[in-house]
Amino acid sequence: MDQAKAKQEINSLREDLNKYNYKYYVLDQPSVSDAIYDQKMQSLRQLEEQFPQFITSDSPTQRVGGEALDAFEKVQHQVPMLSLSNAFNESDLRDFDRRVKDGLGVERVMYVCELKIDGLAVSLRYENGLFTQGATRGDGTTGEDITSNLRTIRSIPLRIKETDTIEVRGEAFMPQKSFLALNEAKEENGEDPFANPRNAAAGSLRQLNPKIAAKRNLDIFLYAVGQWESGTLTAHSERLHYLSTLGFKTNPEWQKCATIDEVINYVNEWVTKRTNLHYEIDGIVIKVDQLAYQDQLGTTAKSPRWAIAYKFPAEEAITKLHDIELSVGRTGVVTPTAVLDPVKVAGTTVQRASLHNEDLIHEKDIRMNDTVVIKKAGDIIPEVVRVMIDERDGTEKPYHMPSQCPACSSELVRLEEEVALRCINPNCPAQVKEGLTHFVSRNAMNIDGLGEKVIEQLFEANLVKSIADIYQLKRDELLPLERMGEKSVDNLLQAIEVSKSNSLERLLFGLGIRFVGSKAAKTLAIHFETMDQLEQASYDELVAVKEIGDKMADSIVRYFSEEEVKELLHDLKALNLNMTYLGLKPKTEELNDSPFYEKTIVLTGKMKELTRPEAKEKIELLGGKVTGSVSKKTSLVIAGEDAGSKLDKANNLGITTWDEQQLIDALKEKNETN
């Protein structure tokens, strides 16, 4: 390929990929399958490697291309990023309205209300349409250059159609799903979890290595324009619309209000509705809409007079901590949990709260029998906020973590660079039971009737001590056990036998290899196809697989090098467990005529012929995207029996709905045409 042809092809691929990114990350409307996207991205990478003279900073391949930094450089904001003054009740909002009207000498003012995203305020600078610099708010006058990290947020466009220099502002945040996954991984690794999504977002964007930030799955909403010398718009609401036309992601829930009463109604509405969002908000921002009025009102030294932030009241509760229990996870991490007197917080009754590790207990000086204040971190995870020192009566006792494992009495250790205590005895009964429970779970081997309580019963009866033991259970051993009648025993043995035929990815996930989740297990199974080939894979071969990073590859190599693992796999093969990937691989040439291609689909209710995971897999293989919630962007809702609120919402929004039989007919028709 000559240079002219290569440049033309590179530009075409970039245009397609940028369009796909915009629809997926900004509009939440996927337009192509992952397979097509990956194919085009790989083609672009190969061409850029062959013709490096055509690589540009706005190429989709350059999202995470920078090296780790030694420190962040300072950035001077041309227009200060001021903080907002706060309102805490209706009276404060009415006082704000009165001050605005008095300051302007008018009787009516139009306001814009926006959700106050709980994240990190940032600015993005574009010159001649190209994203050139991103910075934190800092002290409002001077921030830090975090351009490399912001480039990893895929909802931030690297190029826009505005050719004049423009600086826009927004809130980078971590969605709840990303926050929970990150904290689970940190605790699994013996690291301190983040207290809330805001801290997680800030910590991610202040990583000196952008590759770490890229793994955190951050997002952003843009809400303001800072420096823009050629701007001719006259209202804040017009700017929000314009930001959307430029390709920026703006929050769709903003609303214009003609009176302060409308503002208060909007605030009250979101006090209750905020729990339905997939991201955290901590209040509502109210701004005067007319830009001329904003200029006339001006600012104080710290805050604009034309805007205010209504802060939601913190949902905290006071209760008594009467015990601290320890649990041992399947990787040996020992986690302390506060046992509390029941108390209602954010709509649910809380009786337990994670204390994470010993360092946190000492840092907050948490003692047995303390009166404590609790809240849900990010309205999700119950946590102890602080101790009420004044309530102490002398009966409180300092708590110290034991030096021995509560399950097996082995010496607990703290590995290098970890904050958690860990039991490293591979035969620790707590770890073994947790590992067995994980192995039989729904997303792993999915052995019906073999849940946590039955595993506990079998373990205590010395019938199972390892995974292989599950497949050697005998009918006459099970019948004498409590709640084990003939029918339940037969059903259990049948479920165990059926699980032998599971596809490789289920077995891989069930083995509990550190850092290998269900998604990675499927990626590995598709790539290597057999357990033998994966077992023999080198570190370099593993990291060459998309989405398999350094730590995961190292963990996999270490796992398969253990003699105990080799013996286990030998036993499982002898017991006739399948060791091969049995699933389908996406065939991109078959997607265009698929009834699910480029559609966003929600499954709800009970299915008779297909399980929910089976239906999801079949739809995704045919180019559909399955999500968990119904919105205006949903293309199709497939409802089984006893479908509830999701079906009601779909009907209210006029979204097409199918029953299970229509899904099965569509799948059969697609299979018959191939």
In tens, the pLDDT along 448-459 reads 889 888 999 999
Does 553 lie in the same domain as 478?
A: yes
Q: Is the pLDDT of residue 155 over 80?
A: yes
pLDDT tens readout for residues 288-309: 999 999 999 999 878 899 999 9
| Over residues 327-331, mean pLDDT | 87
The stretch 516-521 carries a mean pLDDT of 87
CATH number for the domain spanning 290: value is 3.30.470.30
Average pLDDT over residues 504-524: 90
Residues 75, 142 contacting (CB under 8 angstroms): yes
Q: Note whether residue 78 is domain-resident.
A: no
Q: What pLDDT does residue 267 have? A: 95
Mean pLDDT over 515-540 rounds to 91
* pLDDT at site 492: 94
Tokens encoding 380: 């999700």
Known catalytic residue at 116 = yes
The reply to whether 568 and 454 lie within a common domain is yes
Q: Residue 466 is part of a domain; what is its CATH number?
A: 1.10.150.20
d(CA 384, CA 370): 11
**Residue from 251, 224, 114 nearest 166 by CA:** 224
Q: What is the mean pLDDT of the chain?
A: 87
Domain end residue (candidates: 549, 574, 599): 574
Cα Dmax for the chain: 90
Q: 40, 116, 375, 618: which is the annotated catalytic residue? A: 116
Q: How confident is the model at residue 123 (pLDDT cuts 50, 70, 90)?
A: very high
Say what the pLDDT of residue 393 is.
93
Q: Is pLDDT above 60 for 65? A: no
286 falls in which pLDDT band (50, 70, 90)?
very high
H/E segment holding residue 295: helix 291-297
Residue 189 has pLDDT above 70, yes or no: no
- Candidates 133, 137, 170; CA nearest to 149 is 133
What per-residue confidence (pLDDT) applies to 67? 56
Q: Do 390 and 345 reside in the same domain of the chain? A: yes
Q: Please give the model's pTM, rounded to 2 decimal places.
A: 0.53
Amino acid in the structure at residue 140: G
pLDDT band at 329 (very low <50, low <70, confident <90, very high): confident
Task: Compute CA distances 87 → 3, 83, 289, 383, whole Å.
Answer: 60, 13, 18, 26
d(CA 194, CA 377): 9
Q: What is the pLDDT of residue 28?
A: 67
- Comparing 360-364, 376-380, 554-558, the range with the smallest average pLDDT is 376-380
Hey, is 46 helix, strand or coil? helix
> Please, what's the b/e burial string for 50-89 (b: 16 or more CB within 10 A of its CB; e: otherwise)?
ebeebeeeebbbebbeeeeeeebeebebeebbbebeebee
Q: Which residues pair with 672 in a beta bridge?
A: none
Residues 290 and 327 in one domain: no
Number of folded domains that form the chain: 5
Q: How many separate helices (H) and strands (E) can be counted in the chain?
A: 25, 24
Indicate whether 77 belongs to any domain. Answer: no
Could you tell me the two tokens for 422? 């860990």
- The pair of three-digit structure tokens given for residue 610, joined into one six-digit string: 């297909």
Instruction: Write down which residue in 356, 386, 413 finishes a domain.
Output: 413
SS3 content of the chain, % helix, strand, coil (to 5): 40, 20, 40
CATH of the domain at 36: 1.10.287.610
Q: Domain of 372: which CATH number?
A: 2.40.50.140
Chain position carrying tokens 């909403």: 221
Pair (531, 612) in one structural domain: no
| Orientation angle between helical segments 563-574 and 550-561, nearest 10 degrees | 70
In this structure, is residue 391 part of a structural domain? yes
570-607: per-residue pLDDT in tens?
999 999 999 999 886 655 555 667 888 878 899 988 88
Domain carrying residue 363: 316-413
Give residue 417's pLDDT: 67
Does residue 325 sit in the same domain as residue 292?
A: no
371 and 472 both lie in a single domain: no
Contact between 564 and 432 (Cβ < 8 Å): no
Q: Retrieve residue 234's tokens.
A: 């006259």
Position 182 pLDDT exceeds 60: yes
Provide the 8-state DSSP code for 68.
P
175 Cβ neighbours under 8 A, 6+ residues apart: 197, 217, 219, 278, 279
- Do 33 and 128 lie in one domain? The reply is no
CATH number at residue 632: 3.40.50.10190
Query: Does residue 423 form part of some domain?
Result: no
Do 558 and 516 meet the contact criterion of CB atoms below 8 Å apart? no
**Dihedral sign, Cα of residue 159, residue 168, residue 145, residue 23:** negative
Asked whether residue 21 is assigned to any structural domain, the reply reads yes
Based on the fold, state whether residues 444 and 527 are members of the same structural domain. Answer: yes
Among 311, 346, 376, give the residue marking a domain's end.
311
Same domain for 597 and 530, yes or no, is no
CA angle in degrees (0–180, nearest 5) for 556-561-565: 90
Please answer whether residues 454 and 437 qualify as being in contact, where contact means their C-beta atoms are separated by less than 8 angstroms.
no
- pLDDT band, residue 364 (cuts 50/70/90): very high
Nearest-5° Cα angle at 227, 292 to 255: 55
Residue 75 domain-assigned (yes or no): no
114 lies in the same domain as 205: yes
Q: In the predicted model, is pLDDT for residue 34 greater than 70?
A: no
User: Could you tell me if residue 67 is inside a domain?
Assistant: no
pLDDT at 90: 93
pLDDT (tens digit, 9 = 90+) per residue, 400-428? 999 999 999 999 988 766 778 889 887 89
| CA gap 214, 193 in Å, rounded | 18
Instruction: For residue 184, tell me if it sits in a domain.
Output: yes
Shared-domain flag, residues 436 and 566 = yes
Confidence check: pLDDT of 669 > 80 = no
Amino acid letter for position 215: K
Strands in 234-369 per DSSP E? 255-257, 281-288, 307-311, 316-328, 333-345, 348-354, 367-368
The whole-number pLDDT of residue 66 equals 55
Residues 6+ apart with CB under 8 A from 393: none
